[in-house]
A and B are shown apart, each in its own frame.
Chain A
Amino acid sequence: MPPAPRPAGISARQRMLQIFVPLLALGFGLVVWQWIVWAYEIPRYILPGPADTAIALLTDSATLWPALLVTLRITFMALAMAMVGGVFLAVIIVQSRWLELALSPYTVILQVTPIIAIAPLILIYAPDTQTALMICAFLVAFFPILSNMIQGLKSVDHHLIDLFELYGASRWQSLVYLRLPASLPFLMVGLRIAGGLSLIAAVVAEFAAGSAGQGSGLAFRLIEAQYRLNLPRMFAALVLLCGAGIAIYGLTSFVAWLALRRWHESAVRREG
């Protein structure tokens, strides 16, 4: 009898398990949480259960959802600006060793100073809170993109550089056809780091801002709920932030996959 080919179902089943096991574990955690709340009759102003949280998500949606949108808008605007700015500055910086040296003190200072410490200052100088939050998120997202992009632009295969020189490529042609595509994997690493960081910065800066009123983000709603000891709403806001983080991670990973899927090792499945 010829050896039976490995049934294709196994890998499919494994993939199903890879999705279901984490989901099952999560569901189990929720059930235990709910059970504890019930069994010990913990009042919901001390520890709301998953059900209370879900109810708060619905009943408070009028305040929470707009706040989520505000936070997401700040995060994505900052991320987009950081992408454009980071790539642009990286391209300029690698043109000249001297320029890189001259700019290095500023990049180091901005990078090593904790953003939470700069936020109050930015809040004073910026025309409004929204702008201040965006600047904070931008500053944090900017550096991973800048430094990864610089690294990428510098890591281009020397033989390929020779090749372009041999065929008389202009600076512009080398940039567009060689340096930018070659640094795409590095840029994608930067983007994935920056995505998570800019959400954190948007939240942290809003804690520092603490101002009330229209157009507040989720972080402010969180603090507001804390003052009122509205724990279900706090949990609901946390759930939304967590969801936003996951969505940003998923989205940046998806963008990276789109950009690299055809050629880069990181996005191509290794075939055994």
Chain B
Amino acid sequence: MPKLVAMRAVSKVFADGTLALDQMSLEVETGEFLSLLGPSGCGKSTALRLMAGLAEPSSGVVERPSGGGIGFVFQEPTLMPWQTVFGNVFLPLKLRGFSKAEVRERVMDGLQSVGLADFAHSYPRQLSGGMKMRVSIARALVTRPSLLLMDEPFAALDEITRHKLNDDLLALWRRSGLTIVFVTHSVFESAFLSSRIVVMRPRPGRVFRELAISQPAQRGADYRVSESYRADCQLVSEALQGAISAAGN
């Protein structure tokens, strides 16, 4: 598998001296669904921002696709409150010089695919938390990126909504051949979604263990109660426990 992103011995020290990442190496393969799992403060967001080019490494190199083929979904929906849902999803295209008329259909298709076509003219304040998150996802996908980076996108949602969006995301990933890097601190979410899980440990942040996850073709509601999913969760959970107890060494 060709590499889409590679972090080689990357360290990140913040201005206040915090060592967020220490000699972290990680490769993201084209087409995989990779989850970054780890306790709070272990540097997941930092790693994701480095992959997106939103921050520069203090040492080491980050190789990533050039030419802006990256979509980013922040932990918060991060919508512009003064723009409609349509305007928010249109933004990445507007910044690339497209006119509204040129891409109206493309934006509407994007809204359609997250089930929000009827809300194109609503303002973010009129939407629920889950709907805002879906707008944010539609915006990240509207440029048809090859790489989608997601930072705990569903952390603030209720379980039902979260499961629904998990299913939608998996379907999208299957359909599109997208590469996804998904940050989470939920064992269950990572085991459900990923083809590979990278468990990170804190203080200082680095890769603790990598786990390949079995991938049945269908992962629906049945799979959530299946034995193999339970076994995966157990495995991931143990790895996470190990990462937490390794902290500070």
Contacts and interface: CB of A to CB of B under 8 A. Distances in A.
Contact of A159 (B78, B82, B143): B78
B82 A181 contact: yes
B95 A167 contact: yes
Interface in A250-269: 262-265, 268
A168 B68 contact: yes
- From DSSP, what is the main secondary structure of chain A's interface residues? helix
Interface in B52-92: 52-54, 68, 70, 72, 74, 76, 78, 80-83, 91-92
B74 A173 contact: no
**On chain A, which size bracket covers the interface?**
20 to 34
A164 B78 CA distance: 11
B78 A168 contact: no
B93 to A, nearest CB: 9
Interface of B: 49, 52-54, 68, 70, 72, 74, 76, 78, 80-83, 91-92, 94-96, 123-125, 143
B72 A160 contact: no
Contact of A157 (B49, B52, B78, B125): B78
A187 to B, nearest CB: 13
Interface of A: 157, 159-160, 162-169, 173, 177-178, 181-182, 184, 262-265, 268
A159 B76 contact: yes
Given A166-B70, A168-B68, 9 more contacts: A160-B80, A162-B49, A163-B91, A165-B54, A167-B91, A181-B80, A182-B82, A263-B123, A263-B125
Closest 9 CB pairs of A and B: A159-B78, A167-B95, A263-B81, A181-B82, A263-B82, A167-B92, A169-B95, A159-B74, A263-B123
Given A166-B54, A184-B82, A177 B72 contact: no
A166 B53 contact: yes
Contact of A166 (B72, B80, B81, B94): B72
Contacts of A173: 95
Given A160-B80, A262-B82, A263-B82, A167 B96 contact: yes
A184 B49 CA distance: 29
B50 to A, nearest CB: 13
Given A165-B54, A166-B70, A160 B95 contact: no
A163 B123 contact: no
A262 B53 contact: no
Contacts of B74: 159, 162-163
B80 A178 contact: yes
Contacts of A163: 72, 74, 78, 91
B103 to A, nearest CB: 14
Contacts of A166: 52-54, 68, 70, 72
Contacts of B52: 166
B94 A162 contact: no
Contacts of A168: 68, 95-96
A166 to B, nearest CB: 5
Contacts of B94: 177
Contacts of A268: 125
27 contacts: A157-B78, A159-B74, A159-B76, A160-B78, A162-B49, A162-B54, A163-B72, A163-B74, A163-B91, A166-B52, A167-B68, A167-B95, A168-B68, A168-B95, A168-B96, A173-B95, A177-B94, A177-B95, A181-B80, A184-B82, A262-B123, A263-B81, A263-B82, A263-B123, A263-B124, A264-B82, A268-B125
A159 B91 CA distance: 14
Contacts of B96: 167-168
Nearest to A180: B82
A181 B82 CA distance: 7
